[in-house]
Amino acid sequence: MMRANEDNAVCVSGTVCEEALLDHELYGEAFYALRLRVERLSGVADILPVTLPARICPCLPKEGERIRIFGQLRSYNKSAEGANRLAITVFAKAVEPMGPEEAPQNSVQLTGFLCKSAVYRTTPFLREIGDMLLAVNRAYNKSDYLPCIAWGRNALYARDLPVGGRVRVEGRLQSRCYQKCLPDGSSVERTAYEVSCSTVQLLE
């Protein structure tokens, strides 16, 4: 169902973690939120947020169901603790059941414009990382701002990409927990979502 020429295409499949809950209504249409557990080959699981329009799924998935979702990666500003944060979600356009023997899928294809210079860094174990933010256009003159992370040679390549350059990435959507330090000295655990890139390409 994903097409190679799409600027924003996602296919994820796994197990529904919790009952879908009403998130918001827009122009009379209901949108539900759920979380999908997607296993990696390593055995680690990504817990991914999904936005589900009621019109494409009259019977909402139940906790424990295995489903496949086709859609797009979307971003929006979410107000929390007095500040705006960039929130990421898989916006579902189609949902189908998974067979009992089917392996989980996690595939993302994005084509967008590099918003700012990639941040190149190395870990204490000398692993090279490049953090990018892509603006991906969608209908009605809107854009989604999507964080991407590249590794190794891809990170080196991303470091030299021009701001405003049209970039195509392929990879998977991952969740990552981290500790956020607050002004009062305390900390709180948060989850970041980003596209872990297997390929990065500057387009003409």
Q: Is there a single domain that holds both residue 30 and residue 113?
A: no
Judgement on whether residues 94 and 119 belong to the same structural domain of the protein: no
Look up tokens 């989850």; give the residue.
191
Q: Three-state DSSP class for 154? A: helix
Q: Please give the residue range of the domain that contains residue 144.
A: 109-202
Co-location of 120 and 52 in the same domain? no
Whole-angstrom distance, CA of residue 49 vs CA of residue 37: 9
Q: CATH number, domain at 152?
A: 2.40.50.140
Q: What is the pLDDT of residue 2?
A: 57
- Same-domain status, 114 and 91: no
Q: Within a domain: residue 82?
A: yes
Looking at the 3D structure of the chain, how many domains does it have?
2
* Mean residue pLDDT across the chain: 91
Residues 6 or more apart from 141 whose CB is under 8 A from it?
none
In a domain, 2, yes or no: no
**H-helix or E-strand spanning residue 158:** helix 152-159
Phi then psi for 200, rounded to 5 degrees? -135, 130
Mean pLDDT by 10 residues, the chain (204 residues): 74 95 93 95 92 91 95 87 82 93 94 97 91 94 96 96 97 88 78 95 92
The string of pLDDT tens digits covering residues 81-137 is 666 788 999 999 999 999 888 999 999 999 999 999 999 999 888 899 999 999 999
15 assigned to some structural domain: yes
Same domain, 115 and 58: no
- Predicted local distance difference test score (pLDDT) of residue 80: 62
* In a shared domain, residues 129 and 81: no
Determine the Cα–Cα distance for residues 10 and 72; give it in Å rounded to an integer: 5
